[in-house]
Structure 1
């Protein structure tokens, strides 16, 4: 009876349901944990600063696990890897909630990060492997809804759980959503036995994981410890050295863990570069705005949340338009205009001061959301337009590395700008001018990225979206890759 159930539900419904659940859980967990830190510190009789390890260990371990995700998907199949990673994430969430001390909590958060490092690329590979390029834009219009709701709802949910139950429920809350997703996926996801991707590249894993972990630690801790501190400098230098070694080894390996030769395709390379740099002003502004409202204007956390929330409405409106225009206009014009709009709105935000009204700021945040709604879907879909289906797991894994790096650089850049704009040895919060200069710096980065975006060769992406080109699932990119491998 159960063996017949999967055939009754289309994978075009099953896969998005599972991926939406995974995305929602992961985003909420990342945003909700910060709310619980003061309560955790009180129970363990520590300062909030002493919980730095709880915050930093998650992105570090996530970055270290990502390189292995593509090989695991190719070897064991997307369903098996995704559900195993999700089960590991939920199990570590349960352990985090039951932690008896700081040491246990850090260890369990590390396991959470390792699980998430496999979860993100496996979920993306499964989603984009199910739909053609022409369908990916349409399905992404709906997939982005939980991505916008989750970060807005997480602080409110976290506050309610901490105030009325316990900080432990910040971790337990993952289970009511995650366990049904595991059961649903186990019953209805189509399984595949995987393949034979080649011998596991252990040197590539050690070098790439070490490079990403070291770099992520340095970027995360730089604003807190200072960029000239010994720990930060050593981690950044070590990350750079290990990254160079990883590139050299992977380009000479017959079956590399990281297929860096995918970057020989200009569309894949350029869209990832746009993602890396473009995420800095986008995520940086989303990080900076609550700080400005609460520190420069003295608003409450609730006022801050309600004032930045219109950004989500702007995104949800624009992505529907993007879904209609993508095949006709192409990602170059859409993303380029979106980043130009991001730069313009950031200039407007730079004019805000301590007396700027909340409704004015809300209007700016709505416009900001409308602008960034042109960014996420086109860059993701275009990056995979010329990638062969056999390389999909590798491509989504590399995309995840790029996005995680860009996301980590954003708060580091903002915090550094605020520190540079604050008079030394005053011990005071950053002045309004520091926030204004930070907004202008982000605007300059967005403008420069927009200029580069207008050079994007998006003809193949438009053709794939119309179903008339070499989109995801064709063989021609794979042939080109094998030829390049022989030449290399």
Structure 2
């Protein structure tokens, strides 16, 4: 259980750090004598640099081994966290925050590659039932933890807090993680890195800033246009390269392609609703931040409950039915949330969020495990990297879709305070996306995934044998 322990700690601090900074922005602005809007770079630079670092992670894992890459990235993340906490001005904070993002961009794929290469499909289902805990608790706990640290210590502890959690994980991994030999993955694909990193940075900036600056602003349009052009060039280069940095040929496998497409589109209504809930409660209904936090938190309990059940059902019925029903449930609960108004009690909203979590729990684990069911051991690092790219993109699209729906549903005279009807319309848009994704999920060809979970070799032959051999290292 050494690998899951390290990966749980890594996942927890990386997710918390991505969500906790927003809470500290007003305090940072006061100390540096700036407006909160002037600190936009502190927030945006993290996902942009994270996206830029992801493409190189697979090559690094293949060349140096998952253990080395994971621990070096974790050390870099902790070091940059300390530097962020000690920053003397805004410029330093943005630079150190960029270093944090680049470290996180390697952490996520490296930890996933370590899990995938250590455990076979049936074990991954079991492990995922535990891995989902930090993934759900972290974003829910981040605002509460951040508020306590800022109120009772200072904003600097929002960054320092990573050390008490990450340092023991680093030392534990150094001592107990088995050494993994790297291989020679071929010459480093520099053109692929430059094109893909620049494309991801441009797209992530445009998607993140579109809701704030407006989709018609010059900077957003330019970044999206340049990012799209660079992405197209990157795809052409990577498909023609013998040893590409991003092995896009893996998308030729229908199971891998379809599960990633479900993740890309399906994350929009799921994460979009998580982003929309606090806005609706605080801005639409005038509830306090504490009431908002306690009303959205039940979602985490719903996810934790369903994941345990899905882990048992996965081997018996396969991922297709679980994912399809999960996405259908997401759409149904979003329709319920669209009926909420000023007369809806907080307890009713909490029940809806609990049901929403139950539905979401049927999507997260099955899509991840099924995506690599047919992937050979030699391509696991590449598959993990592509999975991370897709999830990060879907995560960035979610708030952008919500904000756009709110803007389009809000009269110009009420632009500063969207009416309740605008939030209801946004929930309906998300429900429609979930419904379409559900239909697509029910068409998922999950035969190989079921066979892999049962430990049979009919689906992928030597792939499962390689995984079982890897689990003994």
TM-score by length of 2: 0.97
Cα displacement string for residues 32-59 of structure 1 (whole angstroms, at most 9, x for unaligned residues):
1110000000111111100000000000
2:98 is matched with 110
CA pair 473-18 structure 1, distance change in 2 beyond 3 A: farther
Give, in whole Å, the separation in 1 of the partners of 2:279 and 2:346.
Answer: 14
Give, in whole Å, the separation in 2 of the partners of 1:94 and 1:165.
Answer: 15
Unaligned runs of 5+ in 1: 1-12, 479-488
Give, in whole Å, the separation in 2 of the partners of 1:370 and 1:470.
Answer: 32
Aligned-partner SS, 1:304: helix
Give 1:297 shift: 1.1
1:306 aligns with 2:320: no
More off after superposition, 289-298 vs 372-381: 289-298
Please list, as runs of the form range in 1=range in 2, the aligned pairs for 1:213-252 lying within 5 A after superposition: 213-252=201-240
Please, which of 379, 393, 401 is the counterpart of residue 367 of structure 2?
379
Instruction: Give 4+ residue runs of structure 1 displaced > 6 Å after superposition.
Output: none
Contact 2:32–2:90 (Cα < 8 Å) also in 1: yes
Contact 2:448–2:460 (Cα < 8 Å) also in 1: no
1:261 is matched with 249
1:177 aligns with 2:180: no
Give 1:473 shift: 8.5
Please, which of 46, 54, 57 is the counterpart of residue 69 of structure 1?
57
Give 1:461 shift: 0.2
Please list, as runs of the form range in 1=range in 2, the aligned pairs for 1:447-458 lying within 5 A after superposition: 447-458=435-446
2:182 is matched with 194
CA pair 126-470 structure 1, distance change in 2 beyond 3 A: farther
Give, in whole Å, the separation in 1 of the partners of 2:457 and 2:342.
Answer: 53
2:285 is matched with 297
1:362 is matched with 350
TM-score by length of 1: 0.94
1:16 aligns with 2:4: yes
Give, in whole Å, the separation in 1 of the partners of 2:241 and 2:167.
Answer: 39
Aligned-partner SS, 2:154: coil
Contact 1:133–1:472 (Cα < 8 Å) also in 2: no
Give, in whole Å, the separation in 2 of the partners of 1:186 and 1:472.
Answer: 33
Contact 1:388–1:477 (Cα < 8 Å) also in 2: no
Contact 1:384–1:472 (Cα < 8 Å) also in 2: no
Give, in whole Å, the separation in 1 of the partners of 2:124 and 2:69.
Answer: 22
Contact 1:389–1:472 (Cα < 8 Å) also in 2: no
CA pair 411-470 structure 1, distance change in 2 beyond 3 A: farther
Give 1:477 shift: 12
Give 1:474 shift: 2.8
Give, in whole Å, the separation in 1 of the partners of 2:386 and 2:38.
Answer: 33
Give, in whole Å, the separation in 2 of the partners of 1:396 and 1:473.
Answer: 21
Cα displacement string for residues 324-378 of structure 1 (whole angstroms, at most 9, x for unaligned residues):
0001111110000000000000000000001210010011000000000000000
Please list, as runs of the form range in 1=range in 2, the aligned pairs for 1:278-357 lying within 5 A after superposition: 278-357=266-345
Give, in whole Å, the separation in 2 of the partners of 1:227 and 1:170.
Answer: 31
RMSD: 1.3
Unaligned runs of 5+ in 2: 467-473
1:484 is matched with none
- The total of aligned residue pairs comes to 466
